Amino acid sequence: MAAAGGYGGGGYGGGGGGYGGPPPGGYGGGGGGYGGGGYGGGGGGYGGPPPAGGYGGGGGYGGGGGYGGGGGGFRGGGGYGGGGGGYGGGGFGGGGFGGGDRMGALGAGLRSIDWGSAGLPPFEKDFYIEHPDITARSDAAVSEWRAKHEITCTGAGVPKPVLSFAESPFPEYVLDEIKRAGFQAPTPIQSQGWPMALSGKNMVGIAQTGSGKTLSFLLPGVIHINAQPELRPGDGPIVLVLAPTRELANQIREECNRFGGTSRIKNTCVYGGAPKGGQARDLRSGVEIVIATPGRLIDFLESGTTNLRRVTYLVLDEADRMLDMGFEPQPHLASSSAEALLCCGGSCTALNAALLRGKRGAQLRKIVSQIRPDRQTLMWSATWPKEVESLARDFLKDYIQVTVGNLELKANPHVEQEFLFISQHEKASAIKRILSTIKPGDRTIIFCKTKVSCDNLTRMIRMDGIPAVAIHGNKEQRERDNTLREFKAGHNYVLVATDVASRGLDVKDVRLVINHDMPDGCEDFIHRIGRTGRKTNEGYNEGKAVSLFTSEDSRLARELVPILEEAKQVVPPQLVEMARYGGGGGGRSRYRRGGGGGGGGRGGRSGGFGGRGGGGGGYTGSNSIPLGGGRY
């Protein structure tokens, strides 16, 4: 197995030789160990021919190397971890597939700023002038309106809501854009959120996706920018919006383009998985608004491409999702690999996850440390677990808060829900039956748990002659953008997605959501089905969600039953039976992370990425299968 190593000789993976190939390559590679050289130390590698690199090349978990260190890679040259570094001292991805962002020591090159001696110029942030009609409105009338819309406000000095565009403090150029967009009245979160944001106070907003929260922070941001001195050469942005995914970042930018054009406010979107050149040019040219995912932004900050000294309006959108994705440190994370292994009960899977969370975790704090402390900060979230509450206390001083709905986990009552209780091997035929009932052009989103099942299902549907496309993390950004654009336009009306698209995906008039695979927790279930039954100018569109439920999903039953009851949905007897006899307890609730047991590991790459081509955003893999190509 290994030439001269094993558990001894310098560490966990120690010695020379290797697990997967002839010395000096392989999984356990030469030298090193858990604490000293590394988990996969030495040269060699998992995927590429030794000694040119691979999964474990050079260094290790705790010492000077890394999980993906060395000079090799998953497929030779470049690779999963790229040259040098790793979990302990370089980068999980440094280089790697398609120029993605590094992780691991990402942000280590950022200089700390002594804001006390920085001589900060003052800036204006309170722009709210209350309309006379609002002033005349009694506290009882305000309380009645808030109760009707399930709005709760906390904190000192929360302003009264704005109940119409005529009462809003926005200048004519903003109101003209709103009218052109066809809006008749503010949504409840906009009515309460606009005066809160315009008052210059730090604020927290808790509201479901699709409630209009994006404009709740963007339009006040436009007012904020127009009151600041113009950018000078070398200045960074004035408004920074942090988002957990590139899809959400792009959608926020679309709203920026709609409502910031009249003011000639420039914006750009920076995220991993896309070439850096164009993003860097935008940043260097000077833009007032930057919408960014944390990892790519830190890359640009470290390289000096931009800075955050001019940022006076900071937005953290979908903060709960950022925590789920590991952008904030976990308090229980041990300081050394050995301690971490003990904390995780000896589980290497748990250790991997804990280390990844810890290394990714410092990203938000590193970014915020580069922004002046007297900034205005707005945090938006769909849920309010204790981790988000803790983050708010750390990042926002004396904040006011608005919550739409109660803090119980709630499904959209405007979505009709149906459950099909079937076995795993019956899912394909069930999908075919469901799709045969929809009208051509009715937008449908199908959620799968894995990228492989996502591609397989897309292939099957396309072979049946239905224009379906897949979107998941292994698709290049250009293809993902093109996929969403075509889906929104209705050219391909079935979208098969992993949970990368389950939050922040804002597509109008989605008629049907299908859960091909149930998610790990009820929180994700609610976000998935929330893609349909969304608010429109006239009310809510018709929406339906169909969930394929197997015996393996019974862990969700206990949490699902009250959620369905609250949404006034028919609760299937089978679900009640599962909840009564042992089902439940495994999902992730609004108040706790983790929960029932994990579901195993990644399970391999199943044939690699299926081609990196598709220049100009062309389709690859399952998305390129000809329609009606025959039986699957």
Residue 325 confidence (pLDDT): 67
Query: What's the average model confidence in pLDDT over 471-498?
Result: 88
Length of the chain: 632
**pLDDT confidence of residue 532:** 87
Q: Which residue in 532, 526, 560 sits closest to 544, CA to CA?
A: 532
| pLDDT tens track for 158-212 | 999 999 999 998 988 888 888 888 888 999 999 999 999 999 999 999 987 678 8
Query: What per-residue confidence (pLDDT) applies to 211?
Result: 80
What confidence category does residue 413 fall into, taking pLDDT thresholds of 50, 70 and 90? confident
* Structural domain 213-217+227-329+363-399, CATH architecture: 3-Layer(aba) Sandwich (3.40)
Range with the lowest mean pLDDT among 52-66, 218-232, 317-331?
Answer: 52-66
Arithmetic mean of pLDDT over the chain: 75
Burial class (CB in 10 A: 0-12, 13-18, 19+), 463: middle
Q: Is the pLDDT of residue 305 over 60?
A: yes
pLDDT at 586: 42
Residue 154, pLDDT > 60, answer yes
Q: What mean pLDDT comes out for the span 328-352? A: 39
Q: Taking 80 as the threshold, does the pLDDT of residue 624 lie above it?
A: yes
Output the pLDDT for position 597.
40
* The pLDDT of residue 608: 34
Residue, of 39 and 323, whose pLDDT is higher: 323
Q: According to the model, what pLDDT value does residue 181 have? A: 83
Instruction: Give the list of residues 6+ apart from residue 194 with CB closer than 8 angstroms, or none.
Output: 162, 168, 169, 170, 186, 216, 219, 220
Q: Which residues pair with 470 in a beta bridge?
A: 496
Mean pLDDT for the stretch of residues 585-600:
39
Hey, is 539 helix, strand or coil? Answer: strand
In this structure, the strands spanning 400-404 and 151-154 are antiparallel
Please give the pLDDT value at position 122.
92
Distance CA 93, CA 96 (A): 5
pTM of the shown model = 0.62
Nearest to 365 by CA among 34, 43, 110: 110
* Superfamily holding 415-589+619-624: P-loop containing nucleotide triphosphate hydrolases (3.40.50.300)
The pLDDT of residue 131: 95
Least confident range from 145-149, 563-567, 569-573, 585-589: namely 585-589
> Looking at per-residue confidence, does 503 or 413 come out higher?
413
**Mean pLDDT in residue range 290-318:** 95
Does the pLDDT value for residue 57 go beyond 70?
no
Rounded distance between C-alpha atoms, residue 360 and residue 603, angstroms: 22
Using pLDDT thresholds of 50, 70 and 90, give the confidence band for residue 536: low
What is d(CA 152, CA 402) in angstroms, rounded to the nearest whole number? 6
Q: Which pLDDT belongs to residue 582?
A: 60
Count of Cβ atoms closer than 10 Å to residue 116 Cβ: 8
Contact present, 174 and 181 (Cβ < 8 Å): no
**DSSP states of 345-390:** TT-HHHHHHHHHHHHHHTHHHHHHTTS-TTSEEEEEES---HHHHH
Region 123-149: mean pLDDT is 95
Q: Report residue 41 CA to chain centroid gap.
A: 32
Residue-level pLDDT at 362: 66
Query: What span, in angstroms and rounded, lies between the C-alpha atoms of 516 and 501?
Result: 14
pLDDT of residue 67: 37
Once rounded to an integer, what is the mean pLDDT over residues 88-98? 36
Residue 598 pLDDT greater than 70, yes or no = no
Q: What percent of the chain has pLDDT over 70?
A: 68
Q: Which residue has the higher pLDDT, 525 or 361?
A: 525
CATH 3.40.50.300 maps onto the chain at 213-217+227-329+363-399, 415-589+619-624
In percent, the amount of the chain with pLDDT more than 90 equals 44
**How far is the CA of 332 from the CAs of 108, 279, 390, 598, in angstroms?**
21, 36, 14, 19
Alpha-helical segments (H) within 128-275: 132-136, 139-148, 172-180, 188-198, 213-226, 246-260
Query: Is residue 143 very low, low, confident or very high in pLDDT (cuts 50, 70, 90)?
Result: very high
